[in-house]
Amino acid sequence: MTARQPPPRPESGANPPPLLSARNLERIYRLGQQTIHALRPLDLDIHKGDFIAIAGPSGSGKSTLLQLLGLVDSPTAGEVRVRNRPAQHLGREQRAALRLGTLGFVFQAFNLLQMLTARQNVEIALALAGFPRRKRRKRAEQLLADVGLAERMQHRPLQLSGGERQRVAIARALANEPDVILADEPTGNLDSQTGREIVQLLEDLNRAGQTIVMVTHNLEIARRAGRLFLMRDGHIDEVEPGNAAALD
């Protein structure tokens, strides 16, 4: 026994709170005279171990929802809660700290730093997450090995294929051991075979316990998720992943 170990969590009894939840979450954009209801008031609970896909046509509010859940954007009304704690009243810096401690992001365009190697891209995330310098290299190498890039650590993004770049981005997203990974169209820039491999990687991470929320255009991918939500005009509905009819 060491003093550092957290107390054991009760395995049964009271349900643990959702890792991330939305309550009456609404987002209206105002552009000049125009009012855009990007998100109609919606509720959503994301629990540990979930693999959630959010599908829907372009402009239906998927990215808006992800940015709100990711504490990057602020809602017009309603709130996001992290383990039942409202995040809305927090100041900018507190919100950034909560984001850093809780969430990992994966983007369609990878968003890697072009001048840095794969390993350095991950090391930067480890530095931001507060890992001591002497531990960063080893952990970056481990994370890259975990996503299948043991042989590509010294490559810069331009020396990597699209699928490999997205693997680096996933390793980076894992750096802070996030409660939830939020992925916005992670296969959007990839050919279908490479896209399937990236989803396979996300599924493997999910099987190992990682909670994932993934926005996707791809219905074949969406149907494989544990929970599936469809968005339309800012509304969201949960449907059976196997229920193909709901998607056509």
Ligand X SMILES: Nc1ncnc2c1ncn2[C@@H]1O[C@H](COP(=O)(O)OP(=O)(O)O)[C@@H](O)[C@H]1O
Instruction: Annotate the chain with DSSP letters as a single string.
Output: --TTSPPPPPSSSSPPPPSEEEEEEEEEEEETTEEEEEEEEEEEEE-TT-EEEEE--TTSSHHHHHHHHTTSS--SEEEEEETTEE-TTS-HHHHHHHHHHHEEEEETT----TTS-HHHHHHHHHHHTT--HHHHHHHHHHHHHHTT-TT-TT--GGGS-HHHHHHHHHHHHTTT--SEEEEESTTTTS-HHHHHHHHHHHHHHHHTT-EEEEE-S-HHHHTTSSEEEEEETTEEEEE-TT-GGGG-
Could you tell which of Mg ion, ligand X, none binds residue 114, using a CB distance below 5 to 8 A set by kind? none
**61 contact, one of Mg ion, ligand X, none, CB 5-8 Å limit per kind:** ligand X
Residue 5 binds ligand X (CB under 6 A)? no
- Of 17, 23, 36, 120, the one binding ligand X (CB under 6 A) is 36
Any contact of residue 31 with ligand X (CB under 6 A)?
Answer: yes
Among 21, 60, 63, 117, binds Mg ion (CB under 5 A): 63
What does 29 bind: Mg ion, ligand X, none (CB cut-off 5 to 8 Å by kind)?
ligand X
**Residues 6 or more apart from 111 whose CB is under 8 A from it?**
169
Q: Which of 62, 81, 95, 152 binds ligand X (CB under 6 A)?
A: 62
- By beta-carbon proximity to Mg ion, the closer residue of 60 and 176 is 60
Among 63, 117, 166, 218, binds ligand X (CB under 6 A): 63
CB 68 within 8 A of CB 39: yes
Give every CB contact of residue 153 below 8 A, 6+ residues apart in sequence.
117, 118, 119, 140, 141, 144
Of residues 66 and 144, the one with the C-beta less far from ligand X:
66
Residues present in the chain in total: 248
Return the number of the residue (63 or 166) whose C-beta is nearest Mg ion.
Answer: 63
Q: Does 32 bind ligand X (CB under 6 A)?
A: no
59 contributes a contact to ligand X by CB under 6 A: yes
Minimum Å gap between C-beta 129 and Mg ion is: 26
Q: Which residue number, 63 or 210, has a Cβ lying nearer to Mg ion?
A: 63
Question: Does residue 38 belong to the site contacting ligand X (CB under 6 A)?
Answer: yes
Q: Does 188 bind ligand X (CB under 6 A)?
A: no
Binding mask 10-49 vs Mg ion (x if CB under 5 A, - otherwise)?
----------------------------------------
Residue 36 near which of Mg ion, ligand X, none (CB within 5-8 Å, type-dependent):
ligand X
Residues that bind Mg ion (CB under 5 A): 62-63
